[in-house]
Amino acid sequence: MKLRNLTERFLENLAEAVDSLSVGSTPSSLNPTIAVLSALVLTGTAAFSYGFALPALILAISVVLVLLAHSSVRQWTKILLFVSVWVALVSAPLPFITPGKSIAVLSLGLIELGVSFEGLNEMIAFISRTTAAAAIFTSFASAMGWRRIVNGLEGLRMPGQFGLFLNLSIIHIPLFLRETAKMLSARESRIVRKIRIREVWRVLSTVVGDLLLRGYERSWRLEKAINARSFIPLEPSLKTPSTAMGIKDFLLLFISLCILTLGVLSVV
Amino acid sequence: MREGSLLTVKNIHFRYPGNVQVLNGASFSAERGEVVAIIGSNGSGKTTLLLIAAGLLDPQNGLVLLGEKPLREQLPEARKKIGLVFQDPNDQLFNPTVYDEIAFTLRQLLSSEEEVERKVRQVAQKLKLGNLLARPPFKLSMGEKRRVTLASVLAYDPDILLLDEPTANLSVKYVEETEQVIMNAKNAGKAVVIASHDVEFVANVSDRVYIINEGSMQGGSNAKSILTDESMLKFADMRPPLVLQTLKVLRLESHDNPLTIKDLTEASNGNTHRKQRSSQTQRSKRR
Res A239: pLDDT: 52
Decide if B79 and A230 are in contact by the 8 Å CB cutoff.
Answer: yes
d(CA B38, CA A198): 49
Contacts (Cβ under 8 Å, ≥6 apart) of B148: B89, B93, B98, B101, B102, B129, B132, B137, B140
List of chain A residues whose C-beta atoms are within 8 Å of the C-beta of residue B100:
238, 240
A17 and A110 part of one domain = no
CA-nearest residue to A218 within chain B is B91
Q: How many cross-chain Cβ pairs, A to B, lie less than 8 Å apart? A: 75
Decide if B96 and A226 are in contact by the 8 Å CB cutoff.
Answer: no
Give the CA distances from residue A193 to residues A190, A200, B197, in Å, rounded to whole numbers and listed in that order: 9, 11, 38
CB A61 within 8 A of CB A42: yes
CB B227 within 8 A of CB B197: no
A99 and A33 part of one domain = yes
A134 and A259 part of one domain = yes
Whether ipTM exceeds 0.90? no
User: Which positions in chain B have a beta carbon within 8 angstroms of at least one beta carbon in chain A?
Assistant: 51, 54, 56-57, 76-77, 79-80, 82, 84, 86, 88, 90-92, 94-96, 100, 104-105, 107-109, 113, 136, 138-139, 152-153, 156
d(CA A172, CA A15): 10
A229 and A173 part of one domain = yes
User: Which of helix, strand or coil describes residue B216?
Assistant: strand
A245 and A161 part of one domain = no
Q: What size, in residues, is chain B?
A: 287
Q: What is the pLDDT of residues A22-78, one digit of tens each?
A: 666 555 667 888 888 999 999 999 998 888 888 999 999 999 988 888 877 887 888
Res A146: pLDDT: 77
A166 and A46 part of one domain = no
Q: Which residues pair with A108 in a beta bridge?
A: A111
Res B275: pLDDT: 61
List of chain A residues whose C-beta atoms are within 8 Å of the C-beta of residue B109:
231
Decide if A229 and B88 are in contact by the 8 Å CB cutoff.
Answer: no
User: A 121-180 residues with CB below 8 A of B?
Assistant: 147, 167-168, 170-171, 174-175
* pLDDT beneath 70, residues of chain B: 1-4, 253-256, 270-279, 285-287
Please, what are the averages of pLDDT over each run of 10 residues along chain A (268 residues)? 63 75 64 88 90 89 87 82 90 88 80 86 92 91 80 77 78 84 78 75 80 86 88 55 70 87 80
A40 and A73 part of one domain = yes
Residue B63: Cβ-neighbour burial (10 angstroms; 0-12, 13-18, 19+): middle
A249 and A130 part of one domain = yes
Decide if B88 and A147 are in contact by the 8 Å CB cutoff.
Answer: no
A16 and A103 part of one domain = no
A205 and A254 part of one domain = no
A5 and A45 part of one domain = no
A120 and A33 part of one domain = yes
Decide if A240 and B100 are in contact by the 8 Å CB cutoff.
Answer: yes
Alpha helices in chain B (DSSP H): 46-53, 71-74, 89-92, 98-109, 113-126, 142-154, 172-187, 199-205, 223-227, 230-235, 242-249, 261-286
Q: Which range marks the domain in which residue A164 is found? A: 1-24+152-237
User: Which of helix, strand or coil describes residue A235?
Assistant: coil
Sign of CA dihedral A77, A83, A89, A95: negative
Q: Give the β-pairing of B191-196 and B35-39.
A: parallel
Give the CA distances from residue B248 to residues B31, B242, B259, in Å, rounded to whole numbers and listed in that order: 34, 10, 12
Res A152: pLDDT: 83
d(CA A31, CA A22): 17
As for how many domains chain A has, the answer is: 2
Strand order in the sheet with B61-66: B20-30, B7-16, B61-66, B69-70
User: A 183-222 residues with CB below 8 A of B?
Assistant: 218, 221-222
